[in-house]
Structure 1
């Protein structure tokens, strides 16, 4: 890539860390040196200060406004990334399952569980025979999430309710028909990754089989939305938890957001005592991954990066300024950009091949192969070199999949998508 290219000449398509709005970065640069005339940069202020609390509360309020998050949900800022949440979801929702099962078995019986050996034995048997966590495996990230659950709980307690590879010749690229899903009767939760960044697979909407019934009750659903959060309107009330790393559409690497139903927090529900978990042979969560602890401390149990929260907050404020209809406005632009890119690729079937099936292809991670001339490796190398020379960077596919991947995140402007679509067409006809 020519070293003389300026930021304005680059359209970055990397999968993450992703492009940030230039005006947000410019304001953040000023805040790093002197925040609001305090003489200190924002990264130098105490996370215990009133200033930090205000930044957190503003970001929470603006996220709730953008996504229409109901009042009976809490927003947590955590660390550890989406990968950390693979573990945190297991710890917290298995703990919640144990509490529910404990109440069912012990009822109004008072005192320590060890004082009632017959009831405790019933609880142990329930854990042994009934505890399940369900996973819909549709790509690399959901596969890693299910593997982490197996590592923590053992394979007996992990139910892969659907595996796309079994219905697609050993490869990801589809979402199995819901009629084939083998969901558990009373799972501690059902996990799915709404958008698989590596494989370019996205759920077209909330799964029908996971929707709550007329009474409002349904499966406990946990979703990873790390790469497509803030790209479309979502039915938040259908989820018990949504988590996402900030570094795709929200901000910078360093914070992870959890949108959690408050019914999983005190006073509605507390996590089981550590001694009980040990007695039951279940893993004890690190306190930093315990939602109850993070919520109680307004995300400040440990030293949170306030600068990262500030940047996320500025991105949210920009969205609210730009789109009066909030995330729906962004959704329209995201889909327009995706249509431009897919349209260009599909116009030349002899040159390009979209990797995932059309029924499951992602709007935000467009994955395709370049087959021009029959030599895929040489064609893709030429495609990437020529794209880079034109300022279209970050297009190389994930190392596990290869090919081309255009990550159509919110900060990529419509003009950038038009530029990429024009290049795709020009390369095909050159």
Structure 2
């Protein structure tokens, strides 16, 4: 069977060792005679898993003690509504940074609960950059941003503080780089980009911020309910949390977030250098705001794009087609993607360029 190199935007790939452990646990978890899929979430064994996963999150991201680590369900899309439902009142206002498709979805949901002020937007350039922004309005309930824009291929590298609670969607770059958790009042991230399989959502929140909620919120949408019940108010996504634990243990073995960040920078630089060198391709994001996780680029014309897609597929390169509304290419370089896969993609781009040169030479002969 041909080896595949998966550059898909999500769900992310997992390290082979993580997948093997997860596969074994589906059949017989820790020699218990039970599958991880059927073990009780109230058992001591699983309570140990959820505690260990919380501790790994705290260790890898250096989460302060006055923050809670929660495992929820519903993905980041549920967080788009859950954040304003908790923190935005009808007579209050929230500030949002508009940097792309998913930021737009968050803005749309927030408007159901109160007034939304878009403090800056990069829509004028098809979201190809991160706009400068500032807010001195202390009356806003919170400022919301998206750290990495998976479709547009841009990433925030600075998070200026304005004395306003900062809420951040980190779904696609969580655990890929070092962050200062204290810069944020609430971080949320769907697990399926860098943490594990789909089905679980990570929330890291300052307790003081959670305690500021005055709204009447349904229990399943109330962060405090999950905090006070150790993320087990209802049946948690057992398998997703278990695989996340395995994946975070793997990450720790790679040198933690600091170690994986160095590798992610190396992978991204390798691909961007080829995009900038190769006359058949062009990057779509502003150079200063290029994402390390989702590299977006286009071919010089539609015919070249189609030809390279076919060429890449023949070499086992999958998932590089750009988002349906954007086109072009998108190569996602999540944590578990080996640098060898990036080398295969870069070599494919070089081979494709050489084949085009040969075709042109033969046509002129």
TM range (shorter): over 0.9
SS, match of residue 289 in structure 2: coil
Which residues of 2 match residues 123-272 of structure 1 at below 5 A?
128=91, 131-153=92-114, 157-166=115-124, 168=125, 171-178=126-133, 181=134, 184-206=137-159, 208=160, 210=161, 218-265=163-210, 269=211, 271-272=213-214
SS, match of residue 161 in structure 1: strand
Distance 1:353 1:289 in 2: 43
Give 2:50's match in structure 1, choosing from 36, 56, 76.
56
Q: How many residues align?
A: 355
SS, match of residue 359 in structure 1: helix
Which residues of 2 match residues 403-418 of structure 1 at below 5 A?
403-418=328-343
Residue 322 of structure 1 deviates from its aligned partner by 2.1
**Aligned 8 A contact 1:338 1:364 in 2:** yes
**Aligned 8 A contact 2:73 2:237 in 1:** no
Which residues of 2 match residues 268-279 of structure 1 at below 5 A?
269=211, 271-272=213-214, 274=216
SS, match of residue 113 in structure 2: helix
Which residues of 2 match residues 323-334 of structure 1 at below 5 A?
323=255, 326-334=256-264
1:77 pairs with 2:47:
no
Find the counterpart in structure 2 of residue 38 from structure 1.
Answer: 32
**Aligned 8 A contact 1:132 1:184 in 2:** no
SS, match of residue 420 in structure 1: helix
SS, match of residue 111 in structure 2: helix
SS, match of residue 112 in structure 2: helix
**Aligned 8 A contact 1:74 1:295 in 2:** yes
**Aligned 8 A contact 1:31 1:42 in 2:** yes
Find the counterpart in structure 2 of residue 10 from structure 1.
Answer: 4
State the Cα deviation string for residues 27-62 of structure 1 (Å, max 9, x = none).
101101111111110110111111121111100101
Find the counterpart in structure 2 of residue 295 from structure 1.
Answer: 227
Distance verdict in 2 for CA 1:184–1:147, change over 3 Å: farther
Residue 328 of structure 1 deviates from its aligned partner by 0.8
Residue 377 of structure 1 deviates from its aligned partner by 2.1
**Aligned 8 A contact 2:88 2:113 in 1:** no
Residue 186 of structure 1 deviates from its aligned partner by 1.9
State the Cα deviation string for residues 319-355 of structure 1 (Å, max 9, x = none).
11221xx21110000000000000011002x311111
1:385 pairs with 2:310:
yes
Find the counterpart in structure 2 of residue 321 from structure 1.
Answer: 253
Distance 1:34 1:55 in 2: 16
Find the counterpart in structure 2 of residue 105 from structure 1.
Answer: none
**Normalising by the residue count of structure 2, what TM-score does the alignment of the two structures yield?**
0.94
Q: Structure 1 unaligned segments of length 5 or more: list them.
A: 96-126, 212-217, 275-284
Residue 94 of structure 1 deviates from its aligned partner by 2.5
Residue 270 of structure 1 deviates from its aligned partner by 6.0
Residue 422 of structure 1 deviates from its aligned partner by 1.3
Find the counterpart in structure 2 of residue 398 from structure 1.
Answer: 323
**Aligned 8 A contact 1:245 1:253 in 2:** yes
**Aligned 8 A contact 2:196 2:247 in 1:** yes
Find the counterpart in structure 2 of residue 312 from structure 1.
Answer: 244
